Structure 1
Amino acid sequence: MNKLEKEFIPVMLTPFKDNGEVDFDGLTKLSELYIEAGAKGLFANCLSSEMFELSEAERLKVVAHVVKATQGSVPVVATGTFGGPIAQQADFVKQIYGCGVEAVIGITGLLAGEHDADDIFDENVLRLLELTEQIPMGFYECPVPYKRLISPLQLERLVATGRVTYHKDTCLDIDQVKAKIAATQGHKFGLYDAYMAHAVASLKAGSAGLSCIQGNFFPELIVWLCNNYNNNDLKEQVDKVQQFFIDEMDVMHNVYPTISKYYLQKRGLHISTFTRRNDIGIFDAKIKTGIDALSERYDVLKNELEIKFEVA
């Protein structure tokens, strides 16, 4: 992925039917929505996709379907490590890569135990790279089952192998983000930041783009920020967008991803709010009122920025 142009890479939802089955028609429409909004790639089979609630067969079907739905218009990355012996994880990496993705993403918290030292993680990753031939890899500091952060030094060493091209960062620390970017200069590699509270600072520091759950509410706004973060003529508007993400951070995390499915449903995307997750809380009247109010506040901002994108 070209890091000279700042890119929005959405962490994709998985639409389900009301009976709990994967809604592949909805998945096609969702993929098209991201691309029409200006996304430069897609991250399928991630935490927002409810990847831990999908069977192994469903993960492969979902990833293959997303690749087909893009019709080659944008690259797709997808998670390929789900615990167990490294050889087992390597086998599934190969299966995910066979779906046609550009790179396979490893979950940092599934490549070493929570109390394992960094050298154990490093050894496991190097073994994984050895067993997956020349498949391009990436890493995702997923908060589940626990969040294992990669240090700038570790990332530098991994990227120097020539095999690691992608990193979804969730450290929430702009100084660490800057250090990681500095440590990986000169390589075919992109760091995509998940934390929208410092989105502008991250883009200015040299991140390749943004990969955040807010893109499952208003993907076109993330694209707008990627395109205009450094536009001095729009500094006032950029500052307003950055503050909007800071102010609205909490409301977009309660009962997620149900709330984002509801939000997109309100915007005209024909998908169910069904989720297989049972640990996110209840989508009650209070939560619904909060999302409805978010929608109203975003409509005001969208009009101020003269963003014309609409969900078909």
Structure 2
Amino acid sequence: MTLLTPDAKGVFVISVTPFTDSGAIDFDSLDRVVDFYFEKGADGLTILGMMGEAQKLTQAESRAVAQRVIKRAGGRPIVVGVSAPGLAAIGELGKAVMDMGAAGCMVTTPGSLKTDPQIHAYFAQVAATLGQDVPIVLQDFPLSTGVHISDEVLGRIIDDVAQVVMLKHEDWPGLAKITKLRAAEAAGRRRISILCGNGGIFLPEEIARGANGAMTGFGFPEMLSDVVRLASAGDMDRAQDIFDAYLPLVRYEQQPGAGLAVRKYVLAKRGAIASAALRSPGAGLAPAAIAEVERLLTRQDNRLKELN
């Protein structure tokens, strides 16, 4: 079992959860999309996140998905989202997936947290619930949770909760937060890994600020891998050229309520999953949106050919 460490880097793709048109979990497609992500350059995967429709699964289904993905990954690191309104549910699912061989657990803040002391105390409670040997990915996603973690509170969590080994950075705007974290580490604070989300829309800048990679999803995960690799090596111009070729589709995926449907449409078109279906409540793309995506895909393909 490979556990997450503060040195983790690269691309951990946020996996979709494939469903049949009737809404059942499509385990054959789950196998296929896991293989697809690794073939396209993923270093690890994150499952049961918000874009994995985790909120639509039962606890039993969540465990079944985790078990299938961890087995299929063949020892490559799998992070499992275990966020829940209560600590009991976090502890139950977290223990189950770690026993299966997960690399760590991702947890975000419930919307009920209103003050800095509450936020700080919450992650200490999560760490105690999961156990001292479980690596934690702290998902900082105020656009979704409504909870804003200040630089100061985040620093206190890093200082006080040793199990937090990675930040999933999704604050927006948040580039300055990366800079401050790395400056604090240079001054002696414990270093943690920083992987970035938000669909990768600021990925080149995030790597340049000191992030270690990406933890997000996209219909073309090879873009995430190429940009992280090139930017980390200092070839920012080439990284930006490749990123810019995909940027119109990245932007289109940012639409609230429609982005996952776009991503699943593209993955189905590429053969990674059998159906683009979302589990209810959730709808696929309308014909007008499909036409727009197809136009973006054609332009993207032409631009990539120009870049060779």
TM-score between both structures, scaled by the size of structure 1 = 0.86
Q: Which residue of 2 aligns with 1:243?
A: 244
Letter in 1 for 2:62: R
**Hey, what does 1:129 align to over in structure 2?**
127
SS in 2 for 1:10: strand
Which of 186-195 and 96-105 deviates more? 186-195
Counterparts of 2:143 and 2:29, CA distance in 1: 26
> Do the aligned partners of 1:237 and 1:305 also contact (CA within 8 Å) in 2?
no
| Residue among 9, 15, 19 paired with 1:16 | 19
Deviations, residues 174-223 of structure 1 (Å, cap 9, x unaligned): 11222233335664621111143321121122211012233xx1111111
Alignment of 1:198 onto 2:197:
no
Partner of 2:167: 167
What corresponds to 1:286 in structure 2?
Answer: 288
Residues 138 and 165, structure 1, Cα contact 8 Å, conserved in 2: yes
Q: Following the alignment from structure 2 to structure 1, what is the Cα–Cα distance between the partners of residues 249 and 183?
A: 30
1:182 corresponds to which letter in structure 2? A
Once the 2 structures are TM-superposed, how far is the Cα of residue 6 of structure 1 from its aligned partner?
A: 4.7
Could you tell me which residue of structure 1 aligns to residue 106 of structure 2?
105
| Percent identity between the two aligned chains | 21
Q: 2:227, 2:240 within 8 Å by CA — same for their partners in 1?
A: no
Q: Hey, what's the Cα distance between the residues in 1 that align with 2:125 and 2:9?
A: 32
Aligned to 1:219: 221
Structure 1 range deviating more: 31-40 or 161-170: 161-170
- Using the alignment, how far apart are the partners of 2:142 and 2:278 within structure 1? 19
| Cα distance change, pair 203–117 in 1 and its aligned pair in 2 (3 A) | same
8 Å CA contact retained: 1:80, 1:104: yes
The equivalent residue for 1:91 is 92
168-177 or 186-195: bigger deviation: 186-195
Partner of 2:82: 80
Aligned to 2:212: 208
1:27 is matched with: 30
Deviation at 1:157, TM superposition (A): 2.5
Q: Is the 8 A contact 2:178 2:206 kept in 1?
A: yes
Which of 66, 69, 72 does residue 69 from structure 1 map onto?
72
Which residue identity does 1:202 align to in structure 2?
E
**CA–CA separation in structure 2 for the residues paired with 1:96 and 1:26:** 21
Distance 1:32 1:2 in 2: 24
Find the residue that maps to 1:155 and give its secondary structure: helix
Distance in 2 (CA, whole Å) between partners of 1:290 and 1:208 is 33
Q: Shift of the alpha carbon at 1:99? A: 2.5
CA spacing shift, 1:88–1:194, aligned 2, 3 Å:
closer
1:297 equivalent in structure 2: 299
CA contact (8 A) 1:81 1:92 kept: no
Query: Structure 1: 5+ residue runs without aligned partners?
Result: 307-312
* Partner Cα distance (1:203, 1:2) in 2: 19
SS in 2 for 1:220: helix
Q: How many residues align?
A: 297
Residues 16, 103 of structure 1: CA spacing in aligned structure 2 closer, same or farther, 3 A cutoff? same
Structure 2 residue identity aligned to 1:154 = V
Which residue of 276, 279, 297 corresponds with 2:279? Answer: 276
**1:270–1:170: structure 2 CA closer, same or farther, 3 Å change rule?**
closer
What is the CA–CA distance in structure 2 between the aligned matches of 1:61 and 1:188, rounded to whole Å? 34
2:137 alignment counterpart: 138
1:28 Cα offset (Å)? 0.6
Alpha-carbon shift at residue 242 of structure 1 (Å): 3.6
Paired with 1:76 and 1:148, the residues of 2 have a C-alpha distance of 26
- Specify the SS of the correspondent of 1:257: helix
Secondary structure of 1:17's aligned partner: coil
Aligned to 1:44: 47
Q: After the TM superposition, which of the residue ranges 140-149 and 269-278 deviates more from structure 2?
A: 140-149
SS at match of 2:107: strand
